[in-house]
């Protein structure tokens, strides 16, 4: 299988998507550090958005 990438909205860098990527998974842009969240995986197509900001109720 060929490696999948998504493109960073901020810096246009290429972000590698692992084969077993799932909804909710976080991916970090290797170039600028921006974090994305996978929104949908459908027929191998990846839909993503800017990751949700950490909120005060997050954690263990």
Partner 1 sequence: MVSFSLVYDILRWEEKEIINEAKKREINLNTLEIKNVNFKLDKNVEKSLKEEIFLQRCTSSTRRLFSTAILEYAGGQVINNFQTNLISSNKLLTNIILLKNRIPAPLSYVSFSEDSCIKSSEMLGFPLVFKPIVGSWGRFVHKIRDQYELKNILEYRSFLNSMYKEVFYIQEYVEKPCRDIRCIVVGDEIVATIYRYQANDDFRTNVALGGKVEEARLSDGQKEIFFKVKEAIGGEILGIDAMEKKDQILINEINSSVEFGGAAKVAGKKIVESILNYIVKKGKR
What is the Cα–Cα distance from 57 to 41, expressed in whole angstroms? 27
Q: From the list 43, 45, 57, 59, which residue makes contact with ligand ATP (rule: CB under 6 A)?
A: 59
Residues 7-26 touching partner 1, rule: CB under 8 A, are 22-26
60 lies in the site for partner 1, by CB under 8 A: yes
Q: Which is nearer to partner 1, 12 or 48 (CB)?
A: 48
Whether 30 contacts 5, CB under 8 Å: no
Residue nearest to ligand ATP (CB): 60
């Amino acid at each position: 299988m060929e490696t999948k990438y998504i493109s960073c909205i901020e810096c246009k860098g290429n972000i590698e998507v692992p084969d077993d990527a799932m909804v909710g998974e976080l991916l970090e842009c290797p170039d600028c550090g921006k974090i994305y969240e996978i929104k949908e995986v459908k027929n191998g197509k990846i839909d993503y958005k800017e990751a949700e900001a950490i909120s005060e109720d997050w954690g263990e």
